Amino acid sequence: MQFNTTLLFIIFFLTNSCYSGKLTPLADLPSGLKEISAIEKTSKSDILWVIEDAGNNNHLYGLDAKVKITKDIEIENVQNIDWEDLTSDTDGNIYIGDFGNNSKKRKNFAIYKVSHPENAESSAKAEVISFKLPKDMKSEDFESFFLYNDAFYMFSKDHKKCELIKVPNQVGDHVAEYISEVKLKGKKTKVTSADISQDGKTVVLLNHDKLWKLSDFASDDFFSGTIEAMAFEHESQKEGINILDSNEVLITDEKTKHEGGKLYLFGLD
């Protein structure tokens, strides 16, 4: 999703330097949110939405232009089994991906729709989109997805191959559709977040030390085109990515003892 030009100005002001094209720290994330697993901006406000993963509250947090918590919304009718990623639609609704599966034993997965979160006060209820994997697909861990042409696309987190599945954006129970798979290049190949550009021509997949830029793909088989690995020259537990435009992305990482807990800017060119 694209940023409002005012917010982009504030982001560049925070850097207080010319953008070099490398992974550029913009600001520290709120100290109380140590395990941020996703970041998303809707088309209806300048709020940056974040969540935390398994073991944390079932809250959706909104950050302002200074990266301070301005919204703290409890999603009161669902649990945080393992919230891993965020996406949004053109109407400004947020979707929470509850599909983390570290044990690879999970059979039921969910996506929670939160309507117009910028208008919520301290709590909200979510609509539930639930799904299972195809019968011939073994249980996998997922940490990344996005919404495209009214369907959700999820990427498995595995060091051997990355599998792509599809679920319709409809409240109710579904069986995911298997699309394709690829063996990503590199020593570390687990995908922790994903996003697609507003024009639908660029997909980014996040890893702790790099991202993969996907382009020139056919239809919704995002692995069918060009896959370019782009190194950060910086390694941390990066968990969230959001495309600002066709050239830049926002990235978050989790806070550890000695590093992380920051918002970054990265150029795709």
Q: How does pLDDT run across 8-31, given as a tens digit for each residue?
A: 444 544 444 343 448 899 999 999
The pLDDT value recorded for residue 22 is 82
Tokens of 227: 């896959």
Give the DSSP letter of residue 119.
G
Output b/e per residue, 152-178; b: 16+ Cβ within 10 A.
bbbbbbbeeebbbbbbebeeeebebee
Gap between the terminal Cα atoms of the chain: 17
Q: How does pLDDT run across 85-108, given as a tens digit for each residue?
A: 999 999 999 999 999 999 999 999
Predicted confidence pLDDT, tens digits, the chain (269 residues): 444 444 544 454 444 434 344 889 999 999 999 999 999 999 889 999 999 999 999 999 999 999 999 999 999 999 999 999 999 999 999 999 999 999 999 999 999 999 999 999 999 999 999 999 999 999 999 999 999 999 999 999 998 999 999 999 999 999 999 999 999 988 899 999 999 999 999 999 999 999 999 999 999 999 999 999 999 988 899 999 999 976 899 999 999 888 899 999 999 98
Nearest to 86 by CA among 96, 99, 78: 96
The pLDDT value recorded for residue 143 is 98
Following CA atoms 92, 39, 184, 248 in sequence, which dihedral angle do they give, to the nearest 10 degrees?
A: 80
Tokens of 34: 């140590």
Q: Pick left, alpha or beta for residue 85 (phi over 0 → left; psi -120 to 50 → alpha; otherwise beta).
A: beta
Spatial strand order in the sheet of 24-28: 24-28, 262-267, 248-253, 238-243
Nearest to 112 by CA among 92, 85, 91: 85
The pLDDT value recorded for residue 112 is 98
